[in-house]
Amino acid sequence: MASPANLLRLCLRPSRRLPNLGASAARQFAHRRPLSTTQWRPAPTPKSPDDEASEKAVDDELEKAFKNPGEYFNSLISDESVSDEERRLAQRMLEDWNKVPPAEQQDIEQLAQDVTKEAAQLRRPVFVKRDSFWHVDEPDQDLITDEVGEDDFEEDDIMAMAHAKLEEHREFREYARIAVWEMPLLSKMAKPFEPPTEAEVLRFRYTTYMGEFHPADRKVVVEFCPKDLPDLSEAQQLKLKKLAGSRYNPERDIIKMSCERFEHQAQNKRYLGDLVNKLIETAKDPTDMFEDIPLDTRHHKFKPQIKFPKEWYLTEERRKELEGQRKQALLLDGQKRTEGALIDGVEVIQHAMLHAKPVETVPVLRRGQRGRR
Amino acid sequence: MPVSIFGAAFHEQKLVKKALESFYALGPQTSARILAKYCIHPRAKIGTLPPKTVTALTAELSTMTIESDAKKILHDNIKRLRDMGTYRGRRHAMNLPVRGQRTRNQIETARKLNKVERRG
Amino acid sequence: MSAPSCLRCLVRPSAGVTVSSLPRSSPLAVARAAPFSTTTANLRPKKEVQTGGAPKGHVRSGKMLQLGKFKKGKAGDRGRTPAPGERKAYRKRITLSNDNAIPVPWLTDLGPADLANPANTARIMALPTEVQDQLRASEAFKPTQCWGMFRKPAVLVRKETIDMANRMQNAADKRHTLRLVVSGDKLTGKSLMVLQAMAHAHLNNWVVIHIPEVQELTTACTEYAPIPNTDPVQYMQPVYVLKLLQAIRRANEGVLSKILTVSAHPELSQSMPPNTPLLALAGAAKEPDAAWPVFQALWSELTAQGANRPPILLSADGLAHMMKVSDYRSPAFDLIHSHDLALVRLFADALGGGLRLPSGGAVIAATTRSNAPRTPSMELALAQREAEANKGLGGPSSSGAVEVPQRDPFFRGYDDRVEAVLRSVQVLRVRGVDKLEARALMEYWAASGMLRATVDEKAVTEKWALSGGGVPGEMERAALLTARI
């Protein structure tokens, strides 16, 4: 019963002879929030002087009520303009108030006074100086700090990087969840692999970027072997290869063409299909079979297939062969040694030096000068 | 014994090609053509040429604009430029660079060579 | 390649500088001339102050620091300058004998049939003295070969030699012309093959005409002149032909002196009645102008029908130079094809089969790997001839493995004239020597005192392997030319 709600009801009783109270009550209630800590802001709409007066009156009354409830209730009881019901309510509230121990009453009154005093600053209307440039002189309307202990870290939060890491972990868990619970269900959509039949001669390659739009996903590449094309004779196949030019790989015997001229994959694929048909048609055309033009493979570098020579493998036979050769060589050496036919260069030189004839020194005659004997 | 071609004497060991190129306004291309015309190989020495060929070479050289004829053309050109009063003519007359080079430094070659009566 | 100089021959033969050969105008002589003169030194011409290279009006003209005056002058008198051609002669001198080398007792001279005898495989045999002179006259020896390291010049008889000599002999017997190209990798002994062919020809009294370096004919370093009344124009090379005639004379003196001319040659300036020895005919040319007609006359005599002529060997070293456009220019400044040079044309016709030698003979040309221009037509033609020959030899088993190479359809540098010449030649591919031949070589070197090692199988195998499978030039490099003592 002794609730602030009841108290407010009394303050804002309809029996007070105040004009437009009902109309402005809601508005005022919205504007005047007694225990609010948010800065009061003037409403953009202009108020009539009646409204302002009524607001001020209500304000005063509320102040009185909360500061000294006992006196207010007594005043209400003794007031004649108050209705019976309201008087009874006031009576009841007075009884409740008196039940409260006086220390607590003082506390409550003090609290109300403190709050009002605290909020008085905020509730003071701030008038904007219209001459200041960009309202630089305006105090910061959102600043409600006393700047003491504001930046203290209460050990209750983590850095943005840590939040991001947690978010990442959540992402991993999301995908792990999908992998464990949803991906096995994909097996239901699996189709058995059917290799391409003989009739499927063209092999197309498409590109997808998994949902993104990318300029390269319109390219289509087709590969085929001229031998697989139906009803082409050898000469016609050769003509086809010559027509293909550098699109023909002679080592793999495949013609590979691509198209990205058009905007859609389907268009490019259609173009390639038409192109292949045109090629086949031209290849079958007997007007000019290009017999005198040789197939040009200069665009392709053939990889030399190097195999280890069979003769160089060291098999048992080869080993035996080499052993035999070496044995024969040794025998030949031995034979020559016994014959004395093994020539040793050093010995030969020494022998020659020993048996060399001494060189006769011939005095060199100087070419005489003219006229001198 | 020096052999004279077109008035200039060369010793016998001189290469014909070099001898020909020593004339003003005769360079490698023209000399190669002259040698080919008379079937002289490029490494021939003057001493190996028969007198007939030497005379023929002299005659050939006299038909070409070399030496003084070529210099005359050059001098006429420069004189014409100067007489017309062109910028190039004035530069030649003042021994300064003609082709728009900087004159703060590096004009020694111009001072030496740019004349109305240019050496070549 | 090999080092040509002998340690003994560093001194020039003409170096004999004596006191008397000092120039007379040395200051010493001048001073001696007037020892007691009273003329003062003032009369000496004043030395001008060197102003350096700057002209008079230059910012830097005037006295400058001369750093050059402290340079030492030229170190003494260098003697007289060599005569023209002396340096070339010194560079190209061939020494065939070296008295420092040890004489090899078991070395025998070559006989007429030795090079064709299969029993002589892997034997070293010496060249007889007359053959030496004949080969030297026709410049068959090269300065880069190692002749000057041994007492007597000797050659190794390889199986390729025997093959070639037998082919030559067959051709001579049947009066056909053997047309052979000797090819192979570098240092495999192609030039020596030609030398051995020439030796065989000399020993069997053939007439040998050898062109030692074909590049001298086509690199525009000798005189040339158009031959009148020829269409298309042919060019002769008079100085070279004169030299060639002199070489032919010296090399084939014995043979030519016995052959007599069959017809008179009125076009020559010297009167050559019939029945003069061909030696005289060859000697009729004393001037370059007369050389080509004399050569033509000689050639027509040698190939005269009905006369009893010996077989002719036409040999050349460096075939690639002959098989391309030469460096000569026509009077209209077009490059002259080598086959338009008369001497080269003779050879090319002979090689191509267009020239018939009535008494038979051989046309042997060796390719060279060092100093050879790229000749795609010649390379292709030789590769094709080899492949065809291998196909024929191998039979069905190897026909698939060896394919006859074809022309590259996209290359435009082929020469039809060259391909026509090489359409039906035989190709002798010279490879490395085998172990027996290598052993013979090394024994010869050891016996001459050039190889200080025991020639057993190990040493032979080692050198054989080092030389890339017995390539003779590489074996020389590995064994002969190392100065390990």
Q: What is the pLDDT of residue C9?
A: 45
Domain holding B15, by residue range, is 3-62
Report residue C15's pLDDT band, with 50, 70 and 90 as the boundaries. very low
pLDDT at C40 over 90: no
Q: What is the pLDDT of residue C21?
A: 43
- Does residue B119 belong to any structural domain of this protein? no
Judge contact between C327 and C311, C-beta under 8 A.
Answer: no
- Does residue B84 belong to any structural domain of this protein? yes
CB contact under 8 A, C452 and A342: no
C-chain residues within 8 Å CB-CB of B29? none
Q: How many domains does chain B have?
A: 2
Q: How many domains does chain A have?
A: 2
- Does residue A76 belong to any structural domain of this protein? yes
Q: What is the CATH number of the domain that holds B42?
A: 1.10.8.50
Of A298, A332, A345, the CB nearest to C452: A345
Residue keyed to tokens 């004998």: C97
CB contact under 8 A, C446 and A298: no
Of B106-120, C93-107, C187-201, C371-385, the poorest mean pLDDT is in B106-120
Judge contact between C97 and C151, C-beta under 8 A.
Answer: yes
pLDDT at C19 over 60: no
Q: What is the pLDDT of residue C4?
A: 45
Residue C341 tokens, joined: 């040079």
Q: What is the pLDDT of residue A101?
A: 87
Q: Is C427 in a helix, a strand, or coil?
A: strand
Judge contact between A11 and A69, C-beta under 8 A.
Answer: no
pLDDT at C336 over 50: yes
Distance CA A199, CA A72 (A): 103
Report residue C61's pLDDT band, with 50, 70 and 90 as the boundaries. confident
pLDDT at A359 over 50: yes
Q: What is the pLDDT of residue C108?
A: 97
Q: Is the peptide bond before C232 cis (omega within 30 degrees of 0)?
A: yes
Q: What is the pLDDT of residue C42?
A: 52
Q: What is the pLDDT of residue A122?
A: 79
Please count the residues of chain A: 373
Strand partners, C184: C430
Distance CA C207, CA C205 (A): 7
**B47 and B91 in a common domain:** no
Chain B interface, best mutation among C333, C334, C336, C341, by max B CB count within 10 A: C333
Judge contact between C320 and C219, C-beta under 8 A.
Answer: no
**Which is nearest to C290 in space by CA: C328, C330, C239?**
C239
- Does residue A14 belong to any structural domain of this protein? no
Strands C325-329 and C335-337, sheet pairing = antiparallel
- Does residue A244 belong to any structural domain of this protein? yes
pLDDT tens track for C162-215: 999 999 999 999 999 999 999 999 999 999 999 999 999 999 999 999 999 999
Of A337-341, C245-249, C425-429, the poorest mean pLDDT is in A337-341
C-chain residues within 8 Å CB-CB of A348? 102, 446-447, 449
Distance CA C261, CA C300 (A): 10
Rounded to two decimals, what is the model's pTM?
A: 0.73
Q: Is C457 in a helix, a strand, or coil?
A: helix
Q: Which amino acid is at C479?
A: A
- As annotated, the residues of chain C forming the CATH 3.40.50 domain(s) are 135-141+165-375+415-430
Average pLDDT, integer, range A250-254: 96
Complex confidence, ipTM: 0.91
pLDDT tens track for A328-358: 988 988 998 898 888 999 999 999 999 988 8
Chain A interface, best mutation among C406, C457, C461, C484, by max A CB count within 10 A: C457
Q: What does pLDDT average to over chain A?
A: 85
C-chain residues within 8 Å CB-CB of B32? 329, 333
**B94 and B58 in a common domain:** no
Percent of chain C surpassing pLDDT 70: 87
Domain holding A95, by residue range, is 56-122
- Does residue B33 belong to any structural domain of this protein? yes
Residue A270 tokens, joined: 């259609």
Of C18, C409, C449, the CB nearest to A367: C18
**What phi and psi values does residue A256 have, to the nearest 5 degrees?**
-125, 125
Report residue A22's pLDDT band, with 50, 70 and 90 as the boundaries. very low
- Does residue B15 belong to any structural domain of this protein? yes
**B8 and B58 in a common domain:** yes
- Does residue B120 belong to any structural domain of this protein? no
Q: What does pLDDT average to over chain C?
A: 88
**B72 and B53 in a common domain:** no
Query: What class has domain C135-141+165-375+415-430?
Result: alpha beta
Please return the burial class of A108, using the count of CB atoms within 10 Å of its CB with bins 0-12, 13-18 and 19+: middle
